[in-house]
Amino acid sequence: MSFTVVIPARYGSTRFPGKALALIGGTPMVLRVHSQAAQSGARRVLVATDDRRIHACCIDAGVDVVMTSDRHPSGTDRLAEVVEQLQLPDDEVVVNVQGDEPLMPSELVDQVGLALLNQPQAAMATLCQPLSQLSDFVDPNVVKVVRDESGQALYFSRAPIPYPRDLGLEDTEAFASSGCPAARHIGIYAYRAGLLREFVRWAPVELERCEMLEQLRMLAKGVRIVVELAQVTPPPEVNTPADLERVNQLLGD
């Protein structure tokens, strides 16, 4: 197994400023994320940040960290800069673990990395899980993914897809037992370094701007994306102070 994990972490956050340094069990969140990822089979795990406070926190903890530009519109752009800074070869697999996933199981880090390592014809991999709750299916904040028979992504959407035409969206119990192959997308990604170099040269596409989903730029450009069913269910991410409180309660802190 050979892949690199990069954890994009910025200080600014609309809903939760300073989130990366918020304490989880007495440990800054960015260090907690790093600790989880370091339990995977990655040969290197590093944090990529544009903030001196986060950089200093990592240095003090002995965590591998690189400074990046503060002008990146997304974490993927930040990953692309890391690829250039480290001069990674085009076939190197880079796993993006979000900086607000302090409980991300290391099994999923390994799974997404291996998914791409084992599929040389693909340039990107991600994960999903079956979706059976109607409330999640119709929630635009829950991203859905539809796959082909070989496990390649056909489309990602905030809309309820695939739409159960003969069922409708009124009966919660009927939806749960309908057999509709709905799947929730899990936001962990593996990329080939060469794809990240290409990504930053591509302008956003109409589908991406419409749904506000960056992975649609990849599909629009013909990139093959492997989507595997997650081996375990990831715990909740931290987007707000209330989420942070729930995670601390979950850990008994």
pLDDT (0 to 100) of residue 241: 87
Q: Are 37 and 30 in contact (CB under 8 A)?
A: no
Instruction: With respect to residue 239, please indicate whether it lies within any of the assigned structural domains.
Output: no
If phi > 0 it is left, if psi is from -120 to 50 it is alpha, else beta; for residue 25 that is left
Residue 240 lies in a domain: no
Q: What is the pLDDT of residue 1?
A: 61
For residue 253, what pLDDT is reported? 60
In the block, residue with structure tokens 């995670």: 247
Q: How far apart are CA 34 and CA 45, in angstroms?
A: 7
* Domain-embedded: residue 196: yes
DSSP element (H, E) containing 130: strand 124-130
Q: Tell me which amino acid residue 33 is.
A: V
User: What span, in angstroms and rounded, lies between the C-alpha atoms of 159 and 145?
Assistant: 10
Question: Distance of CA 6 to CAs 3, 47, 50, 104, 244, Å?
Answer: 10, 6, 14, 14, 22
Measure the CA–CA gap between 24 and 14, rounded to whole angstroms: 20
Q: Please report the pLDDT score of residue 224 as a whole number.
A: 97
195: domain CATH number is 3.90.550.10
Domain count, the chain: 1
Q: Calculate the CA dihedral of residues 74, 80, 81, 84 and round it to 10 degrees.
A: 180
Q: Is residue 44 part of a domain?
A: yes
Residue 139, in any domain of the structure: yes
Domain membership of residue 43 (yes or no) is: yes
Which of 49, 192, 208, 30 lies closest to 112, judged by CA?
A: 192
Spatial separation of the C-alpha atoms in residues 122 and 177, rounded to whole Å: 33
Output the tens digit of pLDDT for each of the chain's 253 residues. 689 999 999 887 777 888 999 999 899 999 999 999 999 999 999 999 999 999 999 999 999 999 999 888 888 999 999 999 999 999 999 999 998 899 999 999 999 999 999 999 999 999 999 998 999 999 999 999 999 999 999 999 999 999 988 877 777 888 888 888 999 999 999 999 999 999 999 999 999 999 999 999 999 999 999 999 999 998 888 888 888 888 888 877 6
In a domain, 214, yes or no: yes
Question: Per the domain annotation, does 242 fall within a domain?
Answer: no
- Cis amide linkage into residue 105, ω under 30° from 0: no
Rounded Cα distance between 172 and 134, Å, is 6
* Domain carrying residue 128: 4-232
| pLDDT for position 74 | 87
